[in-house]
């Protein structure tokens, strides 16, 4: 067993993240900036989580997006994805939105 890692907890968190993303509309996934309090409430209810969890996910995503932009041209494939990942496709789906 791996020390220091609670696999059950990690798996539970991954399921929550997946549920939150699947509770979003396509437009919300493509552009998380559209999220207003009522949308976040709907997503939280749909995923069975607290609104704080939705806020945390959106914040993490936005920070990740900023980091990707900082890498800029050095890491971009043809469509803004990582080099060597299937013909330059963005691993996060179209338009840099959420992956599901």
More confident residue, 45 or 97: 45
Q: Estimate the crossing angle of helix 37-47 against helix 7-22, to 10 degrees.
A: 130
pLDDT digits (tens, 9 = 90+) for 6-42: 889 999 999 999 999 999 999 999 888 899 999 999 9
Per-residue pLDDT tens digits for 41-85: 999 999 999 999 999 999 999 898 888 888 875 655 545 444 444
SS3 of residue 79 by DSSP: coil
Show the domains of the chain with their CATH numbers.
Answer: 8-74 (1.10.260.30)
Residue 20 half-sphere exposure toward CB, CA atoms < 13 A: 24
Residue 86, helix vs strand vs coil: coil
The pTM for the full model equals 0.64
Neighbours of 74 (CB within 10 A): 7
- Return phi, psi of residue 17, to 5°: -60, -45
């Amino acid at each position: 067993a791996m020390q220091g890692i609670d696999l059950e907890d990690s798996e539970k968190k991954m399921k929550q993240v997946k549920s939150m993303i699947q509770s979003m509309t396509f437009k919300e996934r493509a552009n998380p900036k559209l999220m207003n309090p009522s949308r976040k409430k709907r997503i939280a209810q749909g995923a069975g989580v607290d609104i704080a969890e939705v806020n945390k996910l959106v914040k993490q995503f936005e920070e990740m997006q900023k980091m990707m932009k900082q890498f800029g041209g050095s890491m971009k494939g043809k469509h803004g994805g990582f080099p060597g990942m299937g013909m330059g496709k963005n691993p996060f789906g179209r338009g840099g939105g959420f992956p599901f």
